[in-house]
Amino acid sequence: MERTIQLMETHLNIDLGNPPFLKLDNGLQIPYSSIKGITTGRPIPNAFKLYGFSFGGIRNGLFRFNGGYHLYFFNNEVDTLHFDLNNFHVGKFKISKLIIDVKNPEEISKTISERLT
């Protein structure tokens, strides 16, 4: 499943497909003001799964790590984009990190970072 990111004027639209464990049919709309930072690379390996799927290098769902809630949507942990979030809620959970797999994560990271300044 390829994730798509649309850069809008005030927020990002992230299409996650139709994750089977979470009701995110409309994807995520993340205001730029909620993004504290963006990086690329390998994800945090020891997060505790709350809802979703975790097998080998594949992660899809809601995870808990160091007291924060994370959303992971990746099948390829190498080509991942990491969003550090502030005041972003999905349902009743305050999400502190979103990690998704995308093509060309470095290029996308640079483009989004330019919008954050």
H/E element holding 69? strand 68-74
In a domain, 39, yes or no: yes
Q: Is residue 8 part of a domain?
A: no
> DSSP per residue over 77-90, as a string?
SSSEEEEEEEEEEE
Q: Is the residue at 85 inside a domain?
A: yes
Q: Please indicate, yes or no, if residue 68 is contained in any of the structural domains.
A: yes
Residues in the chain with pLDDT values less than 70: 1-2, 18-25, 45, 117
Nearest to 41 by CA among 10, 7, 84: 84
DSSP class of 98: E
pLDDT of residue 25: 65
| pTM of the shown model | 0.88
Which secondary structure element, helix H or strand E, spans residue 101, and what is its range?
strand 93-101
How far is the C-alpha of 70 from the C-alpha of 90, rounded, in Å? 10
Q: 95 and 35 in contact (C-beta within 8 Å)?
A: no
Looking at residue 1, what is its pLDDT? Answer: 58
Strand partners, 89: 94
Tell me which residue range forms the domain holding 101. 33-116
Q: Residue 12's pLDDT is what?
A: 94
Q: Give the 3-state secondary structure of residue 14.
A: strand
pLDDT in tens, 73-85: 888 778 899 999 9
Q: Is residue 90 part of a domain?
A: yes
Residue 22 lies in a domain: no
Residue 44 pLDDT: 74
Asked whether residue 21 is assigned to any structural domain, the reply reads no
**Domain count along the chain:** 1
What is the pLDDT at residue 23?
66
